[in-house]
Amino acid sequence: MNTTPHPPPLNPLRLVLLLLSLLPAAYYAWGLAADTLGANPIEALSRGLGIWTLNFLLLTLCITPLRKLSGWHWLLRLRRQLGLTAFAYGVLHFLAYVWLDQFWDLDAIARDILKRPFITLGFAAFVLLWPLALTSNQRAIRHLGGKRWQELHRMVYAIAILGVAHYLWLVKRVALLDPILYAIALAVLLGWRIQARLRLAGPWPVRSAPPVVQPVVFMPKRPQGKLPLPPGH
Amino acid sequence: MLIRPPADILPSEITSQALFLQRRRLLQSLGAGAALAGLGQDLWAAPEGRPTLGPLSASPYSSQEKTTPLASVTSYNNFYEFGSAKEDPARQAPGRLKTHPWSVAVEGEVKHPRVYDIDSLLKLAPLEERIYRLRCVEGWSMVIPWVGFPLAELIRRVEPTGNAKYVEFVTLADPAQMPGVRSPLLEWPYVEGLRLDEARHPLTLLAVGLYGEVLPAQNGAPIRLVVPWKYGFKSAKSIVRIRFVAEQPRTTWVKAGPSEYGFYSNVNPAVDHPRWSQATERRIGEFRKRPTLPFNGYAEQVADLYRGMDLRRFF
């Protein structure tokens, strides 16, 4: 059933996932229309879309560990869809900022991005999502070749780090609990990968021959230094 | 996220109208002062059950702008003693905060230090309605019809000595009533402060109510400060101590983030918060943002207090 590479069949599982993925968007659309998002609906919408971008990013990152741990290889077929959903929520989150927060004042937006580190981080994550979204199809994989495609898509680790740092830096320190939970979840997901890499490299390298272990580069670009925290915090 | 929390109130718990009216009549028969003294916790909690304050005189300081709906004023609050989400105070405070009996110690560099109970504060000076703009440092604003009296009335009565240069406001920090106080992220109790001339300014209000009724718990019951030309966090809630001091008080947010929050914290569109611009604000209930005004639109009344000061340095 799964021998034809494209078009990918929209199997029931993916259809269910698609419908579930639309629920948060539907909740906010309904909330805006029915005025049930509280006293500051625009803030609730903006924040909510950002949170769901992170949720879907982290879900995307769950697929590989889950698949390896459970042996359910069909999970892989959900990964692209989850990633694209994260991208879609990221676009909506960015649109909410550009439109409802800045009202297309491009000067103010440019100043914000340059001047405010938390916006710089969020914007960087948003920009880096594009090449991944645009190459999330069979044709791009064939065009780039599996290895290069995979290398490109490892950028998702950097994107997730940038996204969580964006969240951490945004909130006041009394409200740090939620972003810290996201940071922990991300650390677990990335930590699992590092550990898996180390295991793959062998429990201990053969001493007679130089190890043929590739350096562990799990992301092409790191945000400078450690996870940034608000100044004075 | 999508699962709605169960309703806070079961139908069976809602006071029937007959009983409510009966209570109302009882309260009325007790007279206003005595009624406030005998208030039950549930009456402070129920939005429709808050006693009205009056008679109120109108104030020339009131704004003519459209007021923010009561539902927004009482459901979108920063009151970290009850949690850091905007909805937390409305959920947590009404059932927990015991606002009666309540006393406020007025002390320090004054000739007549005194502990006031809330009933005597309510009778200290004629109550006025003051419709003020409130600008939060986070970039949103409201227009709120407060009920209260000028802080200057209290200051006059206790007579500060020549050493008094600042006024410090200490607010309640009771972990039994306030779940947020268990969080170590801010230093409790919450402390705010004003320069003595700011505290004496006729715009500076001690508020005991809003929308003609006693203050809802989540808005800082039973008595709070309102300084309309400063960012909202300067207006300390649920005050238990007012101290007159010689040195500038070390206030909570300045201790938490000295680069982000200053002692003065006058509303100033020209001085950004390090993480966001203060040039515009979203008035709650409005779609488009509006420009933020210097001193929140009260420059005419208060700019003189800061003549010769570099407001970028003293932000």
Long-range contacts of B211-214 (CB under 8 A, 24+ apart): B211/B67, B211/B70, B211/B73, B211/B145, B212/B52, B212/B53, B212/B54, B212/B56, B212/B129, B212/B145, B212/B147, B213/B50, B213/B51, B213/B52, B213/B53, B213/B147, B214/B36, B214/B44, B214/B50, B214/B51, B214/B52, B214/B53
A174/B84 touch (CB, cutoff 8 Å), yes or no: yes
- Chain B residues with CB under 8 Å of A47 CB are none
Tokens of A4: 């034809």
Across residues B21-27, what is the average pLDDT? 47
Which B residues 257-286 touch A at CB under 8 Å?
257-260, 272, 274-277, 282, 284-285
Which band of pLDDT confidence, cut at 50, 70 and 90, is reported for residue B16?
Answer: low
- Chain B residues with CB under 8 Å of A108 CB are 277
Extents of the domains making up chain B: 16-51, 52-306
Interface test with A, best of B84, B87, B88, B142 (most A CBs within 10 A): B84
Spatial distance between the Cα atoms of B297 and B66, rounded to a whole number of angstroms? 15
At B43 the pLDDT is 42
Strand ranges in chain A using DSSP code E only, listed in sequence order: none
Lowest average pLDDT, out of B45-54, B223-232, B283-292, goes to B45-54
Spatial distance between the Cα atoms of B170 and B247, rounded to a whole number of angstroms? 15
- pLDDT(B1) > 70: no
Across residues B3-12, what is the average pLDDT? 52
Extents of the domains making up chain A: 12-196
Lowest average pLDDT, out of A214-228, B157-171, B187-201, goes to A214-228
Tokens of B158: 């206790």
- pLDDT(B31) > 50: no
Per the listing, tokens 């919408």 go with A45
pLDDT in tens, A86-108: 999 999 999 999 999 999 999 99
Q: Would you say B76 and B86 are in contact if contact means Cβ atoms under 8 Å apart?
A: yes
- Chain B residues with CB under 8 Å of A176 CB are 185
- Chain B residues with CB under 8 Å of A117 CB are 275
Which band of pLDDT confidence, cut at 50, 70 and 90, is reported for residue B301?
Answer: very high
B70 to chain A, any CB pair closer than 8 A? The answer is no
Across residues B166-177, what is the average pLDDT? 97
Across residues B209-229, what is the average pLDDT? 97
Across residues B47-65, what is the average pLDDT? 87
Tokens of A134: 């645009």
pLDDT in tens, A104-159: 999 999 999 999 999 999 999 999 999 999 999 999 999 999 999 999 999 999 99
- Chain A residues with CB under 8 Å of B288 CB are 103
At B27 the pLDDT is 42
Q: Are strands B166-171 and B114-117 parallel, antiparallel or unpaired?
A: unpaired
pLDDT in tens, A30-81: 999 999 999 999 999 999 999 999 999 999 999 999 999 999 988 988 999 9
Question: Does residue B220 come out as left (phi exceeding 0), alpha (psi in the -120 to 50 range) or beta?
Answer: left
Spatial distance between the Cα atoms of B249 and B142, rounded to a whole number of angstroms? 28
Alpha-carbon dihedral B122, B232, A165, A98, rounded to 10 degrees: 130
> May I ask the CATH architecture of the domain B52-306?
Alpha-Beta Complex (3.90)
B140/A103 touch (CB, cutoff 8 Å), yes or no: no
Q: Which of B144, B132, B285, B267 is CA-nearest to residue B204?
A: B132
- pLDDT(A1) > 90: no
